[in-house]
């Protein structure tokens, strides 16, 4: 649909009576993109899959995500991302899924920050078989009520949220035989 609308828009002159049609087509394209993202998130959440694990260098993966985020418009000049990586932190994981889960956690931290501040992302080895990575923000924090619904699909406190980001992150971490632990204080951070 989106491609058809784009072709139609590009074939019409952008002057006079047609400018209103161009605006409507732009809105339609944006809404189609939004629905595509929602359907993709939903399918990622419900789709059962067999993950292939390999040796993954956590600092490399997390650093890539930080680089991507630092270029995002909502972060530039407002949020500092600090990295605390223990070099050589290797995990048996599915790199793409782990990236997705970590990105969901990072995006949630960034979106919790209404003002300037910092987010810390880090990783370290716990022992020969376990590693940990963390995301810590200076955002608004969460009440006990919100914490009790944290990983429920479609539960969100955001105006434009889908409620699938943390639920998907939880599912990914669980598929890696891991766990998520959350500590949050209202007006301090998570």
**CA separation for the pair 150, 128 (Å, rounded):** 30
**CA separation for the pair 10, 130 (Å, rounded):** 54
User: Are the C-beta atoms of 81 and 118 separated by less than 8 Å?
Assistant: yes
Query: Which tops the pLDDT comparison, 80 or 157?
Result: 80
Is the pLDDT confidence value at 95 over 80?
yes
* Residues 37-77: tens digit of each pLDDT: 777 766 666 666 678 999 999 999 999 999 988 878 778 88
User: Are the C-beta atoms of 23 and 5 separated by less than 8 Å?
Assistant: no
* Residues 164-176: tens digit of each pLDDT: 889 889 999 999 9
Q: What is the pTM of this model?
A: 0.75
Distant-in-sequence, close-in-space partners of 122: CB < 8 Å, separation ≥ 6: 62, 83, 84, 85, 86, 133, 134
Is the pLDDT confidence value at 6 over 80?
no
């Amino acid at each position: 649909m989106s491609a058809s609308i784009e072709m139609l828009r590009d074939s019409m002159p952008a002057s006079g009576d047609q400018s209103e049609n161009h605006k409507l087509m732009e809105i339609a394209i944006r809404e189609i993109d939004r629905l595509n993202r929602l359907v993709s998130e939903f399918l990622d959440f419900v789709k059962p899959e067999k993950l292939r694990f390999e040796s993954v260098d956590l600092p490399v993966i997390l650093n890539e995500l930080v680089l991507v985020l630092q270029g995002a418009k909502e972060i530039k000049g407002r949020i500092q991302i600090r990295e605390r990586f223990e070099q050589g932190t290797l995990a048996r994981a599915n790199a793409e899924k782990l990236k997705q889960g970590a990105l969901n956690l990072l995006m949630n931290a960034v979106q919790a920050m209404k003002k300037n501040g910092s987010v810390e992302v880090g990783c370290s080895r716990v022992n020969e078989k376990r590693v940990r990575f963390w995301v810590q923000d200076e955002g608004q924090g969460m009440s006990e009520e919100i914490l009790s619904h944290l990983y429920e699909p479609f539960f969100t406190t955001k105006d434009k949220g889908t409620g699938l980001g943390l639920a998907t992150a939880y599912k990914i971490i669980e598929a890696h035989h891991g766990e998520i632990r959350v500590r949050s204080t209202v007006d301090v951070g998570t």
